[in-house]
Structure 1
Amino acid sequence: MEHSLTITGFYAGILALLYIALSFKVIGLRRRLKIGLGDGGDKELSKAIRVHGNFVEYVPFALLLLAILEINNGSQFVMHALGGALVTCRFLHAIGIAKSSGKSWQRFVGVLGTFLAMLILAIMNIAYMLF
């Protein structure tokens, strides 16, 4: 049986563009501040590094869960809803940290939405095996 990962590929592509933007933010700050490693005590660079790092910590696993669900012929509607939520939530998370002292509704919604999307994907993949 042949499987296509067009839905996962679509959201992976969008998230890759966001990842590149986050990377360029860190690179630009490093160049402007002349800081090669670490954050040099600069709060703006520290936040940019954490936004980038947090993205790397969660997005690959979420995309893996989405891909597995797609291989298992999950609902296209649900996959698009969760993929769209993941993109939106990662964008909100980045804005929430960059534009605040750490606490913001964007960060809260971004984190909560990312966790919920991953939780739903995990449960759906487990349910596929059990039922």
Structure 2
Amino acid sequence: MLLVTSIIAVVLTGMFIKLSLAVISLRRKNKVGLGTGGHEDLERAIRAQGNFAEYVPFGLILIACLELNGAPWWLVAGPGVALIIGRAIHAKGIHTPPPDFSKRVLGMKFTFYTLMTLMVLNLGWTIYKMIG
């Protein structure tokens, strides 16, 4: 069962819905059906949503693999929480005008380090299970 992954996926999905609703709201406000219409706030919202959609699936897949392979809950939950934190910081940094690039960079660092950690954990745990 993927109990820890499920909780992490629920939180991340809620965050994605919030980002998506922000895009929809700005599209309505600015009367833009496709693209940004030259509106900087809409462009930021679209990129916050897009960036989230680009990185989160890899994290969830690696988290699920780790849990499916029998890693302890805390080894699964730790990177999951880090991914949530990284995505929240990034979204706040890119979405709040004017863009706070220090938060955006910090959010991406959290995200990249989490993905790299998940790569190492998955590889290490798999080798450990194969040998042990």
Specify the TM-score bucket, using the shorter chain as the normaliser. over 0.9
Correspondence for 1:49: 46
Correspondence for 2:127: 130
Runs of 4+ aligned residues of structure 1 deviating over 2 Å after TM superposition are: 100-105, 128-131
The 10-residue stretch of structure 1 (121-130 or 64-73) with the greater mean CA deviation from structure 2: 121-130
1:107 corresponds to 2:86? no
What's the CA shift for 1:46?
0.3
The 10-residue stretch of structure 1 (83-92 or 51-60) with the greater mean CA deviation from structure 2: 83-92
Q: Which runs of 5+ in 1 are unaligned?
A: none
Secondary structure of residue in 1 paired with 2:34: coil
Of 85, 89, 94, the residue aligned with 2:91 is 94
What's the CA shift for 1:127?
1.7
What's the CA shift for 1:100?
4.4
Report 1:27-38 matches (<5 A). 27-38=24-35
What's the CA shift for 1:125?
1.0
Aligned mates of 2:63, 2:71 — CA distance in 1? 9
Q: How many residues in Structure 1 have an aligned counterpart in Structure 2?
A: 128
Aligned mates of 1:100, 1:119 — CA distance in 2? 30
> What amino acid is aligned across from residue 8 of structure 1 in structure 2?
T
> Matched residues, percent identical?
39
Correspondence for 2:70: 73
> What amino acid is aligned across from residue 30 of structure 2 in structure 1?
L
What's the CA shift for 1:13?
0.2
> What amino acid is aligned across from residue 111 of structure 2 in structure 1?
T
Of 11, 36, 39, the residue aligned with 1:39 is 36
Of 33, 43, 59, the residue aligned with 2:56 is 59
Aligned mates of 2:43, 2:58 — CA distance in 1? 24
Q: Which runs of 5+ in 2 are unaligned?
A: none
RMSD over aligned Cα atoms: 1.2
The 10-residue stretch of structure 1 (9-18 or 67-76) with the greater mean CA deviation from structure 2: 67-76
TM-score by length of structure 1 reads 0.92
What's the CA shift for 1:103?
4.5
Aligned mates of 1:21, 1:99 — CA distance in 2? 14
Q: Relative to structure 1, is the Cα distance of residues 100 and 75 closer, same or farther in structure 2, using a 3 angstrom cutoff? A: farther
Aligned mates of 2:62, 2:69 — CA distance in 1? 11
